[in-house]
Chains A and B, each alone.
Chain A
């Protein structure tokens, strides 16, 4: 501490901040009236407090409240500062009159004419500036034209002007920015400076006076109900604020208004995303325990599947916490925190790792308790229950329909102790709750002060860098299909086959794994090997909720997807309460105010920049000052726009919800996909790409090695080389009897201008296979 103090005194920024502080103090000379104003406010407050208590205790001491008086500044002969007299009328009657005048003058030819004159004046000012800028614009235009007059091949070399600019930036601008940045960091790191400055300006701009006067009026109002003087308070407020309006220059106000507006619109957009998330959760809950999502490729079924699993995981943790709090309400004097700490110790030791081990732990405690109780060891019993005074507060609770036991030897599964242990395990365990056949990343952000940790479930407001950090992420568990087989298993003594108890099972392309009746034709239940008929997968789905139910709530959700509902066998399909048909996905939408305006501007800028950039890249490969500025400016605009787009845009999926029997009434619904939530490296749309990569790696040749058609009409040989079922069946007899004749058109084409494919591309790996045949 002492060292850091010494360091501060050696830092010149400290003395600079002191200098700024003195300058801020010196401003008191200009704002001297504010000190008088704050004194009056304190006096008003004191009198109001005295009035409050006197009225409260019916003491009539003739106290005259001053909070309704207008402030007369020393030296001023007028009550009201001259400049404000006309802006806000001094009393409510005048205000009414003025408003009446205002509304009457609103639709009035003179007012309109005056406004038009003002608009024309502004336009004239704009054109005056434009005229001044015209030579610059002309110069810019010619320099732009000049860029494309020469074919430059200085690959990524800087022009002389750009080199000079970069030097200027490196030697002058960057040090200035760094210095300012360091100073700001220093100020932010030493809060006493900026707090003092804010306090000073709070006094100068009457902000403290406003707050004090507010409370002065509040204490006066709650005992007097003086509605008549409310207007006076508004009037005084306006007078107090006048100083801030007149002192701060208008460009600064524009900046403040833009920042405030931006904040408000973003909050509104975030609220909309939150609302969509809650609607999605309602939708997921309405779909039952197992849900089958179907849709044509491109409608976003795997995206919806992933999105649902993320929301479901959050809902499970929320539900666990909700039930934990319910248990606490039933036995409010039990030291649950001590039980939690004991459970945490067991987690760390590795003795508790599942719901069944939670049950084992609680049953062990219960047994010991009852043994000690039988022996009359009340002190030990109390110690065992973490010093819970069960004699005073009890171990039973009648909820109206049944007796709830805190400890139960007979019905241990429904005892609060066992339920709480399981819920705490579900709530607290750190890895993902999702078990899937493709990777899904979920957030693992929670706050822990050593008591009850709280999970951060916000998908939208978190910083991408933070949530993508490996420490703050969970990736789903690999689905071992043997976990879902209660019949024959693929690995006989699979140690992990009983590991799954609760969570979210997510399976994409289920039909390709399980197949339907046609796919499984030929397989038998009594086959020696594991197959879809003897693994009892469907029975597992029917029974799994029994392993996952805690406090009568099933912590299990099964989500599948495929292209068609019929891809999965009827038994498997009918296990799902609902089949979700994704009909279409909307274009991106947003509720961010003025985003359309920004989008119009961005499209305009993007169109012009791309046109310029393509042309530039064609003509030149060096870096000029002009292209440097254009590219960097565009990059800034692009980054700003894309960030807004990805944070606040969403797509709506039109959904038809059908019973899994596929002959029931169809209900329409919507599902919302927020880009910020689902496209934040949650899953890979090419989840199985590694297989195709490895497959392609086996080949020694690429697409270029595939022969091209010789012309726009295929020859028989070419058709034959397709190895197609159709052409093989058509051409088979012909090819067997004789060599297929070349078509006339093909012969003509081969005699025409085009050389053979292999000659054309010889020695040029980049040559295109497009010959312009498409025109026919």
Chain B
């Protein structure tokens, strides 16, 4: 029958466990990006004011926000934060985003609030 070495079996099982967990980890990490846990209403007045307590902001879901994207501007200053946090301030102004939504009538902005999603932990 199929002969095996117990030590190799042990290494094999451990490797298998690690592999399965790694795959799960990779998938989970992506899903954490897609499932924001915290959302807040942010005041918009033609100029986006980021919350001081965020470490980064993601605008991937603007399509649901009835927002005339062209008018988003940003003022972010992360210099005061710890370097260990991720900073993606390049996210926010992206003219290509506008291309997809420019056809939306600006009248669709019926209030000045929209959801911003925060990924990761808010700083204290």
List chain A positions with a Cβ less than 8 A from chain B.
70, 78-80, 82, 85-87, 89-94, 97-98, 100-102, 104-106, 108, 110-111, 114-115, 118-119, 587-588, 590, 595-597, 599-600, 603, 645, 649
Q: Report yes or no: B9 in contact with A600, Cβ–Cβ below 8 A.
A: yes
Query: Contact between A115 and B97 (Cβ–Cβ < 8 Å)?
Result: no
Q: B41 in the interface, Cβ–Cβ < 8 Å?
A: no
> Which of chain A's residues have a CB closer than 8 A to the CB of B117?
86
In contact, A111 and B29 (Cβ under 8 angstroms): yes
Tell me if B9 and A596 are in contact (CB < 8 A): yes
Closest to B28 in A: A115
Q: Is the CB of A111 within 8 A of B32?
A: yes
Residue of A nearest to B3 (CB): A587
Rounded to whole angstroms, the CA-CA distance of A101 and B88 in the bound complex is 8
How far is B64's CA from A80's CA once the two chains are assembled, in angstroms?
8
Chain B window 98-109, contacts with chain A (Cβ cutoff 8 Å), 1 for yes, 0 for no: 011000000000
Residues from 1 to 48 in B contacting A, C-beta threshold 8 Å: 1-4, 9, 12-13, 16, 21, 24-26, 28-30, 32-36
B86 within 8 A of A: yes
B76 touches A (CB below 8 Å): no
**B111 at the A interface (CB under 8 A):** no
Given the known interface contacts A91-B100, A597-B12, the answer about A590 and B29 at a Cβ–Cβ threshold of 8 Å is no
Chain A residues whose CB sits within 8 angstroms of the CB of B119 once the complex forms: 101, 105
Interface string of B72-106 (1 = CB under 8 A from A): 00000000000000101011001011011000000
Tell me the smallest distance from the CB of B118 to a CB of chain A, in Å: 12
Question: Is the pair A98, B60 in contact by a Cβ cutoff of 8 Å?
Answer: yes
**A and B contact pairs by CB, cutoff 8 A, 20 listed:** A86-B35, A86-B61, A86-B117, A87-B34, A90-B63, A91-B96, A91-B100, A94-B60, A94-B94, A101-B88, A101-B119, A102-B33, A105-B32, A105-B33, A106-B26, A588-B2, A596-B4, A599-B4, A600-B9, A600-B12
* Chain A residues within an 8 Å CB radius of B56: 101
- Complex Cα gap A583–B13 (Å): 33
Contact indicator A102/B58 (Cβ below 8 Å): no
User: A78-B64, A101-B56, A595-B2 known; 8 other A-B pairs, CB under 8 Å?
Assistant: A79-B63, A85-B60, A94-B97, A97-B60, A102-B29, A102-B30, A115-B28, A588-B3
B55-75 CB contacts (< 8 Å) to partner A: 56, 58, 60-61, 63-64
Question: What are the 3 A-B residue pairs with the smallest beta carbon separation, nearest first?
Answer: A587-B3, A93-B96, A86-B34
CA distance A645 to B91 in the complex (A): 54
Of the candidates B2, B21, B120, the one having the most CB atoms from chain A within 10 angstroms of its own CB is B2
In the assembled complex, how far is the CB of residue B98 from the closest CB belonging to chain A, in whole angstroms?
A: 10
Q: Are B2 and A78 in contact (CB under 8 A)?
A: no
Inter-chain CA distance A70–B120, complex, in Å, is 31
A108 to B55, CA, bound (A): 13
B residues less than 8 Å from A100 (CB atoms): 88
With A79-B100, A649-B2 as known contacts, state yes or no: A89 contacts B32, CB within 8 Å.
Answer: no
Residue in A93, A94, A119, A587 with the greatest tally of chain B CB atoms within 10 Å: A94
With A and B bound together, what is the CA distance between A85 and B34 in angstroms? 9
A588 and B3 CA atoms in complex are apart in Å by 7
Q: Report the bound CA distance from A80 to B101 in whole Å.
A: 11
Contact of A105 among B3, B9, B24, B120 (CB under 8 A): B120
What CA separation (Å) do A91 and B88 show in the bound complex?
17
Measured CB to CB, the closest approach of chain B to A368, in angstroms, equals 64
> How many residues of B are counted as interface, with CB atoms below 8 angstroms from the partner's CB atoms?
39
Q: Which residues of B contact A590 (CB under 8 A)?
A: 2
Tell me, in angstroms, the Cα distance from A75 to B13 when the chains sit together. Answer: 53
Assess the A108–B86 pair: CB atoms within 8 A: yes
Q: Tell me the smallest distance from the CB of A525 to a CB of chain B, in Å.
A: 52
Per the bound structure, the CA–CA distance linking A105 and B91 in Å amounts to 15
Tell whether, in the assembled complex, residue B29 and residue A645 are in contact, meaning their CB atoms are under 8 Å apart.
no
Nearest A residue to B25, CB-CB: A115
Q: With both chains docked as a complex, state the minimum distance between the C-beta of B116 and any C-beta of chain A, in angstroms.
A: 13
- Closest chain B CB from A108 CB (angstroms): 7
Q: Is B120 within 8 A of A97, CB to CB?
A: no
Report chain B residues within 8 Å CB of A600.
Answer: 4, 9, 12-13
* With A93-B96, A105-B29 as contacts: A78 and B63 at CB distance below 8 Å: yes
Min CB distance A621 to B, Å, is 28
Which chain A residue lies CB-closest to B101?
Answer: A79
CA distance A596 to B6 in the complex (A): 11
- Check A114/B1 contact, CB under 8 A, given A82-B64, A97-B94: no
Q: A91-B97, A596-B4 are in contact. Are A110 and B120 (CB under 8 A)?
A: yes
Closest partner residue, chain A, to B92 (CB atom): A97
Expressed in whole angstroms, the Cα–Cα distance for A645 and B3 within the complex equals: 12
A residues near B63, Cβ cutoff 8 Å: 78-80, 85, 90
Instruction: Give Cα A599 to B100, complex, Å.
Output: 54
* Beta-carbon contact of A105 and B86 below 8 Å: yes
B19 CB, nearest partner CB in chain A, Å: 11
Residue of A nearest to B108 (CB): A77
**Do A90 and B88 form a contact, CB below 8 Å, given A105-B119, A596-B4, A596-B12?**
no
Chain A hits for B30, CB < 8 A: 102
Identify the interface centre among B9, B56, B63, B86: most chain A CB within 10 Å of its CB: B63
A195 to chain B, nearest CB (A): 35
A229 to chain B, nearest CB (A): 12
B28 partner residues in chain A, CB cutoff 8 A: 111, 114-115, 118
Q: Which residue of B lies closest to A106 (CB)?
A: B29
A-chain residues with CB within 8 Å of residue B13 when the two chains form the complex? 597, 600
Closest to A232 in B: B100
Closest to A88 in B: B34
The answer to whether B33 touches A85 (Cβ under 8 A) is no
Interfacial chain A residues near B99, Cβ < 8 Å: 91
A82: nearest chain-B partner, CB-CB: B64
Given contacts A90-B100, A596-B9, A645-B1, contact A97 B88 (CB under 8 A): yes
The distance from the CB of A651 to the nearest CB of chain B, in whole angstroms, is: 11
**Nearest residue, chain B, Cβ from A86:** B34
Q: Chain B residues with Cβ under 8 A from A649's Cβ?
A: 2
In the bound complex, CA of A649 to CA of B2 (Å): 8
- Nearest CB on B from A135, distance (A): 30
B85 to chain A, nearest CB (A): 10
Tell me the smallest distance from the CB of B16 to a CB of chain A, in Å: 6
The answer to whether A104 and B91 touch across the interface, beta carbons within 8 angstroms, is no
Contact of B64 among A85, A98, A101 (CB under 8 A): A85
Instruction: Please pick, from B16, B35, B86, B100, the residue contacting A104 in the complex, using a CB distance under 8 A.
Output: B86
Measured CB to CB, the closest approach of chain B to A762, in angstroms, equals 41
**Within the assembled complex, what's the spacing in Å between the Cα atoms of A649 and B100?**
56
A557 shortest CB reach to chain B, Å:
33
Bound-state Cα–Cα, A667 to B79, Å = 70
Q: Which residue of B lies closest to A95 (CB)?
A: B60
Cα(A101)–Cα(B26), bound, Å: 13
- Closest CB in chain B relative to A116 CB, distance in Å: 10
- CB-CB < 8 A to A599: which residues of B? 2, 4
- The CA-CA distance from A227 to B2 in the complex, in Å, is 51
B103 to A: closest C-beta gap in Å: 9
Minimum C-beta distance from A649 to chain B (A) = 7
Q: Is the CB of B91 within 8 A of A97?
A: yes
B97: which A residues are within 8 A, CB to CB? Answer: 91, 93-94
CB contacts (< 8 Å) of B12 on chain A: these are 596-597, 600
Query: How far apart are B81's CB and chain A's nearest CB, in angstroms?
Result: 15
Chain A hits for B35, CB < 8 A: 86
Residues of B within 8 A of A603 (CB): 4
**Given the complex of chains A and B, what is the CA–CA distance between A92 and B60 in angstroms?**
11
Residue of B90, B117, B120 contacting most chain A CB atoms (<10 Å): B120
User: What's the minimum C-beta distance from A241 to chain B, rounded to whole angstroms?
Assistant: 16
Cα A70 to Cα B60 in complex, Å, equals 17
Known A-B contacts A85-B61, A599-B4; A101 and B96 likewise in contact (beta carbons under 8 Å): no
Most buried by A among B21, B35, B121: B121
How far is A533 from B67 in the complex, measured between Cα atoms in Å?
Answer: 103
**A101 adjacent to B3 (CB under 8 Å):** no
CA distance A78 to B100 in the complex (A): 12
